[in-house]
Chains A and B, each alone.
Chain A
Amino acid sequence: MTEATFPQCRIDSERFMNPETTERLLNQIISVPGVRRMVLNGPRLPATVPFGPAKGSANPHPMRKTIKVGDQEMELQVHVGTVLLELENCDVIPALRAAIEPVFKDFSFRIKEGRFMKTEPSLVDYCKYGPNADKDMIGLADPNSKSRPVIIQGTK
Chain B
Amino acid sequence: MAYKPQYGPGQTSVAENRRKQMNPDHKLAKLRDVSDKDLVLCMGHRAPGSAYPSCHPPLSEQQEPACPIRKLVTPTDGAKAGDRVRYIQFSDSMYNAPCQPYQRSYLEAYRFRGIDPGTLSGRQIVECRERDLEKYAKELVGTELFDAALTGIRGCTVHGHSLRLDENGMMFDMLQRAVLDKKSGVVKIVKDQVGVPLDSEVKIGKPMDAKWLKANTTMYHSVSGIGFRDDPEYVEYIQRIHSLRVKYGFMPKEA
Contacts across chains A and B counted by CB atoms under 8 Å? 62
Please count how many residues in chain A sit with their CB below 8 Å of the partner chain's CB atoms. 27
**Interface secondary structure of A, over-half rule:** loop
List A contacts of B195 (CB < 8 A).
Answer: 49, 52, 54, 57, 59
- A59 pairs with B175, CB closer than 8 A: yes
Our pick among A16, A45, A60, A106 for the contact of B163 (Cβ within 8 Å) is: A16
- A15 pairs with B155, CB closer than 8 A: no
Residue of A nearest to B190 (CB): A60
- The 0/1 profile, CB within 8 Å of B marked 1, for residues 39-66 of chain A is 0000111100111111001011111000
The minimal Cβ–Cβ distance linking A58 to chain B, given in whole angstroms, is 9
- B167 pairs with A49, CB closer than 8 A: no
Q: Is B34 among interface residues, defined by CB-CB distance under 8 A?
A: no
Residue of B nearest to A106 (CB): B167
Q: Is A17 among interface residues, defined by CB-CB distance under 8 A?
A: yes
Answer whether A43 and B157 are a contact pair too, CB < 8 Å, given A16-B164, A16-B167.
Answer: no
Q: Is A79 among interface residues, defined by CB-CB distance under 8 A?
A: yes
A45 to B159, CA, bound (A): 12
Q: Is A81 among interface residues, defined by CB-CB distance under 8 A?
A: yes
- A49 pairs with B175, CB closer than 8 A: yes
Answer whether A107 and B174 are a contact pair too, CB < 8 Å, given A52-B155, A62-B179.
Answer: no
Contact surface of A with B, Cβ cutoff 8 Å: 13-18, 21, 43-46, 49-54, 57, 59-63, 79, 81, 106-107
Contact surface of B with A, Cβ cutoff 8 Å: 155-157, 159, 163-167, 172, 174-176, 179, 194-196
Known: A52-B156, A59-B175. 19 other contacts (CB 8 A): A14-B164, A16-B163, A16-B164, A16-B165, A16-B167, A16-B172, A17-B167, A43-B163, A45-B174, A51-B157, A52-B195, A53-B155, A53-B194, A53-B196, A54-B156, A54-B196, A62-B176, A63-B166, A106-B167
In the complex, 17 of the A-B residue pairs with CB atoms within 8 angstroms, ordered by the A residue number, are A14-B164, A15-B164, A16-B172, A21-B167, A43-B174, A50-B157, A51-B156, A52-B157, A52-B194, A53-B156, A53-B194, A54-B194, A59-B174, A62-B176, A63-B166, A81-B163, A106-B167
